[in-house]
Amino acid sequence: MLSLWKYTFELASKDLELLRKKKQALDDLLASNKISQSTYEHLSRELGETLADVQKYLENIICKMKERMESLERQISILEIFLANVEILHVAGEIDDETYEKQSRALSIGLESMRSEINEIKCALERTEQKPAETAKCEETVVVEASSEPPKTPETSEIPSSGELCEEKTGEPAF
């Protein structure tokens, strides 16, 4: 299943690449004297405006991807606490083996799915030219929660680096 963020990110990235190719072709046409300077300036201005719009749109998508990653990391922390509680209840004899197996399997599947999506987002961000995770200007969003955020656990740091995962999935090093 293709996530909405992934689809829009890939589409905007392809649009941006196509616009850059068109700009290069336009520059080449001017350099080879196949078009006039005024034609070049007119087309260049149009391409420049469209390029700026697509870049801004891509930055917005990148910000949403980073927000999604942060949300997934918070959810992972919560599921890890639930999983630890299930382990404790099982060891203490408060839940039977069957209940323990079902609950721990369900929580583990959820954790695996969330970690996989985080790594997909990291891989997508690494494929961009400018390291958008560092350059995209995202607006700060204020999240008000009913309870305080659970503490980060060591398991969160066990997520393999996105470069490692990108390399595993594609067989090529991440960009």
Cβ 133 vs Cβ 67: under 8 Å: no
9 exposure class (CB count in 10 Å sphere: 0-12, 13-18, 19+): buried
Kindly report whether the global pTM for this prediction surpasses the value 0.85.
no
> In which band, very low, low, confident or very high, does the pLDDT at 154 lie, cut at 50, 70 and 90?
very low
Report pLDDT digits (tens) over 97-146: 999 999 999 999 999 999 999 999 999 888 875 544 445 566 554 443 33
pLDDT: which is higher, 137 or 85 = 85
The ranges assigned to domains in the chain are 4-170
